[in-house]
A and B are shown apart, each in its own frame.
Chain A
Amino acid sequence: MKDTDGYMTEDGRQIGGVLMEMKNITLRFGGVVAIQDISFDVREGEIRAIIGPNGAGKSSMLNVISGFYHPQEGEVWYKGERRPAMKPYEVARLGVARTFQNIALFEGMSVLDNVMTGRLTHMHAGIGAQALWWGTARDEEIANRRKVEEVIDFLEIQHIRKTPVGTLPYGLKKRVELARALAAQPSILLLDEPMAGMNVEEKEDMSRFILDVNDEFGTTIALIEHDMGVVMDISDRVVVMDYGKKIGDGTPEEVRSNQDVIDAYLGVAH
């Protein structure tokens, strides 16, 4: 697995070189160590999962990747360069998009407008031109709207295009959030518990969309998930965390047969 030229997945997808690499990351909040000396990489085109029981430090890890937290020790390498400490919006401009565990959408705005906000990093016209809807601002808006409509079509949410997000059921909100992240056309998509709180059918739908996004756009996906079953089905490689440490890393089969992982999930007699 440590070759530099990528690998071939079981279903015949070619996975490329390293897109993002975490090197010896340690993150502390005061005396609490959330992440302790963790290293792993995410390769181009792959679906990479980070799993672990509650409080394992998964979300902290995602926040490190998205630039929200800055680790005390360790380095984040992205597209072959060491990434300096950045603000989240700067990270976003580099092509990193994310969704949130507890949905962060604009409740009063329509689905369409919410997804349009995902295009912010692709808008360059000045505020004056945008207010007048004139010149480049207009062309940009049309191009962005087209991209957004493609995403809406892709995720099959045409019927709620004009519906205010606040009135939507939970499962659809999750999908809208994914749409917003996708609209940014990210190089890497971070999903924070995309299936949390969903029923079986919604989980199946979401899994299909994640696989389709990866297949259709070639988007690299890093996701955090609590639900082992779903993750094992859709991921190429899995990192397992427990109490801030990495206890396993490899294909779903390797991880599943890893004794430490089994102990962490099922508990052991002390």
Chain B
Amino acid sequence: MTDTSRGAEGLRSIPALLKRNATQFAGKPAYREKDLGIWQSWTWAETAQEIEALALGLLNLGVNEGDFVAIIGRNRPYLYWSMVAAQSVGAVPVPLYQDAVAEEMEYVLGHCGARFVIAADQEQVDKVIEVQDGLHQFEHMLYIDPRGLRKYDHSQLHRFRHVQEQGRAAREEFLPELDRRRGALDYDDTCVMLYTSGTTGKPKGVVLSNRNIIETAKNSSEFDHLREGDEVLAYLPMAWVGDFIFSIGQAYWTGFCVNCPESADTMMTDLREIAPSYYFAPPRVFETQLTQIMIRMEDASKLKRQIFHHFMGHAQKVGPTILDGGKVGLVDRLKYRLGEALVYGPLKDTLGFSRVRVGYTAGEAIGPEIFDFYRSLGINLKQLYGQTEASVFITQQPDGEVRSDTVGVPSPGVEIKIADNGEVFYRSPGTFVEYYKNAESTADTKDPEGWVATGDAGFFEEGTGHLRIIDRAKDVGQMADGGLFAPKYVENKLKFYPNILEAVVFGAGRDRCCAFINIDLTAVGNWAERNNIAYASYQELAGHPRVLEMIQNHVEETNESVAQDEILSGCQVHRFLVLHKELDADDGELTRTRKVRRKIIGEKFDDLVTALYDGSDSIYTETEVTYEDGRKGKIKATLEIRDARVVPVAPRAVAAE
């Protein structure tokens, strides 16, 4: 590690990096956004001007040093500028999840006492207005898209562009103050505050300093040799730490270009048009893409299908080895070349992966088949393990040492130790400062020496030095007979089937495991169409006997696979049901980053859990659901409960793989 008291190369804040980029990369693109069907771009020099105008406008509105500025909306250059403009005037940007409902926003806005909000559009403005009576510190709101807002009371509401204009007009007056504030930014000042999605309880505000972000951005950029010519597509929530590191930290450190899609629905088209060279996606995105390819191949002509399957078979055999630089015979290499021309190349182009040099997936375990599929195409997809409190990076996989079942070696500058109970601890330059206004939680998570508890149980694999994560430490429990219970392990195996979107396994303290299953509407819907199965609603499809039969097969196959594992063979699923509704963050069943909230689901569907264990064949249930506009309703259903065949567990030596 370099001496960091001065800041990496004297650059101690994001606004300082911006200043450097505006000179060093002046004419190179910094941001692109598709607007009215055309990609618009801003160079670093233009970006610096836009941000300065906004910062001056914020001074004009009376933003003080240390104020919190909440930022709500989908990924747009204007909102990224807002974050850097807020930093420029000494305020702290707090990006919020744009799909959060009003009450969730009220908690976060109230907790940090945001005086200013910068919102994308009417939808977000409405949510803030709805809760503003409970927010005593809230003063002004800026909005970007004026649609539908013309007739709103504008005493506290300002159009983004007007604020910039006012800033430009008052440049003479405010520039000295802006310069003073930018100059005063220090390495240990707060860079950003990000709220954790909160698998349990209320979200916590994670305070990250300039040091955290810049050191992490520097180390990780060097690890993957990121450079100024790289392109990323910014489409993951701005409130998520990963987006902050990729689209701001690394982008400002290396000077690469951040591309914003036209809308959430056009992401796939935009991905293809941009063809990023550095790409990040949670496993779910890769799963969805693979499902879509397979669905479309089913509809292709027989010849095309045969060519596809033939060459994909070859790719699975030699592709990953070629990617890792291993030894492959000449014939196989030539055949892979041919496949590249006929199948892999066009496929990568369609997917938007034709230029990916570094791709990452994280957040959840990725199915080995899915992982290998992308790698066999020659896409350098790797895994990393991280969390908000670490400014993302804890471990990551170096090029050439990539496997689906590990999360890699410690990232540069990160130290890791495994506690006696298996919990993973780390210490790094990216380690967060504190949880805002929550000294108790800070002390629980981070000890005085700077070691942070991840809450995950894992171990280092002998020989390779790679970290393997088993499950959330607090989810790992014991079954009634003392066997180890690791629900995530089984759920992930289930979720590797394209037809299964989500699974929740119960079994802690019980004699056997049972599961809730959520079907994937796209995959199962398509399957239903091909098999002439008529259905009118999600609920009807989810309860269809043939769907249940299919899911039962998946569960039984999973059981066979789970039985292979000596320690976890007791986690086989004995009974299951297919839920009548999709688990949803609006109903509190998932976090905003789509992680299962096990405890809440267990309580909410208590009747269903009971039925799984009391041996009944079916159960009638009523469930409250929240619609997108916040209204609540009830859905009623009678669910069939099925028994799944389990593999008898006899203590035996497990055959080597």
Residues of A bordering B, CB below 8 Å: 12, 145-146, 149-150, 152-154, 156, 158-159, 161-162, 204, 212, 215-216
Contacts and interface: CB of A to CB of B under 8 A. Distances in A.
Interface in B10-42: 35-38
Interface string B29-59: 0000001111000000000000000000000
B263 A215 contact: no
A150 to B, nearest CB: 6
15 contacts: A146-B36, A149-B36, A149-B37, A149-B38, A150-B36, A152-B37, A153-B36, A154-B147, A158-B263, A159-B263, A159-B266, A159-B269, A161-B37, A162-B269, A216-B148
Closest 5 CB pairs of A and B: A159-B265, A149-B36, A159-B266, A149-B37, A158-B262
Band of interface residues on B:
10 to 19
- Best-surrounded residue of B36, B262, B265, B629 (most CB of chain A within 10 A): B36
A158 B151 contact: no
Nearest to B34: A158
Interface of B: 35-38, 147-148, 150-151, 262-263, 265-266, 269, 629
B265 A216 contact: no
B232 to A, nearest CB: 21
A152 B148 CA distance: 16
A204 B35 CA distance: 26
Among A146, A153, A212, the most chain B Cβ lie within 10 Å of the Cβ of: A153
Given A149-B37, A152-B36, 18 more contacts: A146-B36, A149-B36, A149-B38, A150-B36, A153-B35, A154-B147, A158-B37, A158-B263, A158-B265, A158-B266, A159-B263, A159-B265, A159-B269, A161-B37, A162-B269, A215-B148, A215-B150, A216-B147
Nearest to A150: B36
Contact of B148 (A145, A149, A161, A212): A212
Nearest to B537: A199
Main secondary structure of the interface of A (DSSP, over half): helix
A145 B36 CA distance: 9
A156 B74 CA distance: 15
Contacts of A12: 151
Contacts of B151: 12, 215
A154 B36 CA distance: 10
Contacts of B262: 158
A216 B149 CA distance: 9
B263 A156 contact: yes
B540 to A, nearest CB: 14
Contacts of B35: 153
Nearest to A199: B537
Contacts of A162: 269
Contacts of A150: 36
A241 to B, nearest CB: 32
A212 B37 contact: no
Contacts of B147: 154, 212, 216
Contacts of B36: 146, 149-150, 152-153
Contacts of A149: 36-38
A149 B262 CA distance: 12
A162 B262 CA distance: 14
B98 to A, nearest CB: 15
B223 to A, nearest CB: 35
Nearest to A154: B147
Nearest to A12: B151
A14 to B, nearest CB: 11
Contacts of A153: 35-36
A150 B38 CA distance: 12
B518 to A, nearest CB: 20
Contacts of A146: 36
A215 B150 CA distance: 9
Nearest to B146: A216
A53 to B, nearest CB: 27
A185 B37 CA distance: 20
A8 B269 CA distance: 45
A15 to B, nearest CB: 15
Contacts of A145: 37
A152 B266 CA distance: 13
A72 to B, nearest CB: 44
A48 to B, nearest CB: 21
A222 to B, nearest CB: 22
A149 B265 CA distance: 16
A152 B37 CA distance: 9
A9 B521 CA distance: 44
Contacts of B37: 145, 149, 152, 158, 161
A156 B269 CA distance: 15
A158 B266 CA distance: 7
A225 to B, nearest CB: 21
